[in-house]
Amino acid sequence: MKGNFTETPEFRELKTTMRKIKNLTIQGATSVAIFGVGAFAKHAKTVPLKGEELFKHLEAVVNQLSNVRVTEPALRNGLRYVMTGIQLDGKETADIHGEKYIDLINEAKLKIYKTGAERIQDGSRVFTHCHSSITVGIFLEAANQGKDFEVINTETRPLYQGRKTAKRLLENNIRVTHIVDSAMRWAMNVYKPHMIFMGADAITVEGVALNKIGSRLCALASEEEHIPLYICTSLLKYDQATSIGRLSEIEMRAPFEIWDDDVPPGIKVVNPAFETIDRNNISAYITEAGLIPPQTVHVTFQRLYGKKIQYYHHF
């Protein structure tokens, strides 16, 4: 990413943030959105460009940042939010608009924690996959309320984000049982969890969720074992482009994350980061608007954020 201007510290910081998002030092949709929008807003405020040149540059940056991880609409919605703010109030206000969007995320998170924790009771067993800061936030809220429950979680190959979840729970004295991904169905059958909580990276107009690879297997196993599945997410992850018929894109990651050095020639290693969860397998979304059925995602998003977050149709 080059700019036709003397590089500012904020631009360097933005580039560092992009690298951290790519290599998962910044991990999970919520953190990607918070750090991405924050770094973009600071850069937009300080970039020494004006008029058409400014907008051309910022649009290019929005494009590039949105493509670092393609399955992250909460980041894209935030970048659009800041761009709209700049168009209305000037680039000097970019950081204020960035902070306002991050406030929206943080306010949503607190509401989701409370609603999610309501579902957890003394003696509950909850199954989860990967690392979702929102899902972990719900567990911590339930623990703070003094509830005694346990969690079963997957390691999440190839990058083991599940270990992050397990460690966070342990640090907070929440009992956790850790399994390999392929033991999902086995664990549901043996431990009989009362519910499954998972995060989401994206939500579509049909009420489908996109989350870490393995999530659909988890949903299918939950159907077989009759376990309710809840997607814990802010509606800011709604992918507005799906409402005009575009498909939510699935990020493909580097094969070396699966098999790093001595792959025998001739073996093709494929590494999809996410997959869809059919809305028929989702009991409800746990959101800042409370528990909502998958069918109401679009209207609820419009009600909460329709006026604040613009979407431009380019037909």
CB 158 within 8 A of CB 222: no
Do the beta carbons of residue 6 and residue 48 sit within 8 Å? yes
Quick check: is 218 catalytic? no
CA dihedral sign, ordered 213, 216, 219, 220: negative
Residue 265: CB atoms within 10 A of its CB come to: 4
Task: Please say which residue, 57 or 212, places its beta carbon nearer to ligand RUB.
Answer: 212
Cβ at position 66, least distance to ligand RUB in Å: 15
Residue of 83, 87, 98, 91 lying closest to 41 (CA atoms) = 98
Residue 50 CB, nearest distance to ligand RUB (Å)? Answer: 36
Cβ proximity of 220 and 281 under 8 Å: yes
Smallest gap, in angstroms, from Cβ of residue 228 to ligand RUB?
18
Residue 162 or 193: which CB sits closer to ligand RUB? 162
**β 229-232/284-287 pair status:** parallel
With CA atoms as reference, report the closest residue to 189 among 223, 160, 166, 157: 223
CA 278 from chain centre, in angstroms, equals 17
The catalytic position among 95, 181, 201, 239 is 201
Strands 284-287 and 290-292: antiparallel
Distance separating alpha carbons of residues 162 and 210, to the nearest angstrom: 17
Nearest distance in Å: CB 213, ligand RUB: 8
Q: How far is the CB of 130 from ligand RUB (least distance, A)?
A: 5
Measured CA to CA, the distance from residue 147 to residue 113 in angstroms comes to 14
CB of 255 to ligand RUB, least distance (A): 16
* Residue-wise DSSP of 88-146: HH-GGGHHHHHHHHHHHHHHHHHHHHHHHHHH--TT-EEEE-S--HHHHHHHHHHHHTT
Indicate the SS3 state at residue 5: coil
Active site residue 148: no
Binding residues (CB under 6 A) for ligand RUB: these are 24, 27-30, 130, 132-135, 161, 199-201, 211-212, 273
Alpha carbon 212 to its chain's center:
9
The contacts found for 142-146 with CB under 8 angstroms, 24 or more apart, are 142/116, 142/117, 143/172, 143/173, 143/174, 145/117
Which residue, 33 or 94, has its beta carbon nearer to ligand RUB?
Answer: 33
Token reading at 261: 């050095």
Residues known to be catalytic = 130, 201
